[in-house]
Amino acid sequence: MSFVNFGKREINFKIVYYGPPLGGKTTNLEHLHSVIPDESRGPMTMLSTRQDRTLFFDFLPLQSNAIKGFVSRVQLYTVPGQTIYNQTRRLVLNSVDGVVFVADSQWDQMENNVESFSNLEENLKSYGLALNDVSYVLQFNKRDLPNIAPVHYIDFMLNQRETKAPGFEAVAVDGGGVHDTLNMVSKMVMAKFIEDHSMPVNEDYDDSRLAIQEA
Amino acid sequence: MLGYAIDEQQCDLFSLALTDLSVQAEANAVMLMDTGGNILASICKADDGVLSTVAALAAASFAATRELSTLLGESGFNAIHHQGDDSSIFIQNAADEFLMIVVFDKNTTAGLVRLYVGKAIQELEPELLRVAGQGYQLTDRPNAVFEFNESSDLFGRRVTPNRLPDARAAAG
């Protein structure tokens, strides 16, 4: 749920990386943290178990001047993939604007992918949302491994909808496809915001204090 | 899915109330945010990235506590107090959708903080309820036109990747 602060000229968006356990959600954020310049990101926070498995969420705040006259603050979260942490997965989805579903491309993970995708839809439903209410993209991760399913197969399993979500092949551990995935989901989230909330310009409106300044 | 907005006057009103609260309660930092972790106003010297992280963690802490209260059959825990040796954090729910967070040290007491937070929330509650109920109200702001800047890469990219010292350190 986007939030606009006209006083501070800020718009906040929330994007959640969702997917099966050990699929590469945290690795996506780690790579983004390593390549995005300091001035565009805050510190990365990881709430993990001693075994480095996500316990609650990972968090990486980013900022961009993508929307004219405003600072766009994009908050990236991951969810814990393990089945037992469904309650925390559901909490992290609260007020979400965009979702990156990180699918594990290995053949033996197809069942987990489908189960996690179905879990995503269920948890969104608990907030009165359908998948089509949020912007989402698919990421086919671990394309460097042997024994992986073809992209069109995973796409067939997860992307059978009227409006197909964009998909990206990725090797998150090397950063391949990670930045492109983020850019796409961010643009989709912002485009939806602009589409939903822009009003036609009224030439007679003369309160210059409220007018948007060019960046 | 629609979000919500606050205007300049509301932003000023919240900032003023937080300034008063920080002085009265002798707090080190005060923040007003929604339960999703979005910051409405803050009185704090930390940079924006750190503030966002504090807000996200506080929102998560409150959400987890609220779930615990449900499991115990309670209608909801209204406030949380994390007590440290030197610094402590007090979080209180306001108008159901918002949280007031106060960071304080040994120069003040939890009782005093709680008292002034309660007063501040009482004063701000009508405005917070208005914010929660009003949505964007862009019909009142005909010149609020949102447009994309021309850029294919929204966040930029380093030439040489940083090797994550703070991320790993945070993971413990």
Rounded distance between C-alpha atoms, residue A161 and residue A121, angstroms: 13
**B contact test, residue of A1, A5, A210, A213 with most B CBs within 10 A:** A5
Task: Say what the ipTM of the complex is.
Answer: 0.82
**Distances, alpha carbon A83 to alpha carbons A3, A90, A120, A177, in Å:** 31, 12, 12, 27
**Residue A211 placed within a domain:** no
Shortest distance between the Cα of B133 and any Cα of chain A, in A, equals 13
Check residue A41 and report its DSSP letter: B
Residue A214 lies in a domain: no
Q: Which pLDDT tens digit goes with each residue over A53-65? A: 888 889 999 999 9
Contact B3 A1 (CB under 8 A): yes
* Position A201 in a domain: no
End-to-end CA distance of chain B: 37
**For chain A, what is the domain count?**
1
CA–CA separation, A135 and A98 (whole Å)? 5
User: Rounded to the nearest 10 degrees, how much is the dihedral formed by the CA atoms of A59, A65, A71, A75?
Assistant: -10
Q: Give tens-digit pLDDT for A12-64.
A: 999 999 999 999 999 999 999 999 999 999 999 988 887 788 888 899 999 99
A55 reaches B (C-beta below 8 A): no
CATH number of residue A117's parent domain: 3.40.50.300
β-strands B98-104, B29-34: how paired?
antiparallel
Q: A29-60 burial, b if ≥16 CB within 10 A, otherwise e? A: bbbbbbbbeeebbbbbbbbbeeeeebebbbbb
Which of B67, B145, B155 has the CB atom closest to A212's CB atom?
B145
Q: What is the pLDDT of residues B124-170, one digit of tens each?
A: 999 999 998 876 655 456 557 788 887 767 898 887 766 554 544 44
From B148, B151, B156, residue closest to A194, measured CB to CB: B148
Query: Is there a domain that residue A179 lies in?
Result: yes
Task: Tell me, yes or no, whether A21 lies in a domain.
Answer: yes
**Residue-number span of the structural domain to which A60 is assigned:** 3-194
The answer to whether the Cβ–Cβ distance between B155 and A182 falls below 8 Å is: yes
* CA pair distance A196, A207, nearest whole angstrom: 23
The structure tokens listed for A9 are 């000229």
- The structural domains of chain B, ordered by start, are 8-142 (3.30.450.30)
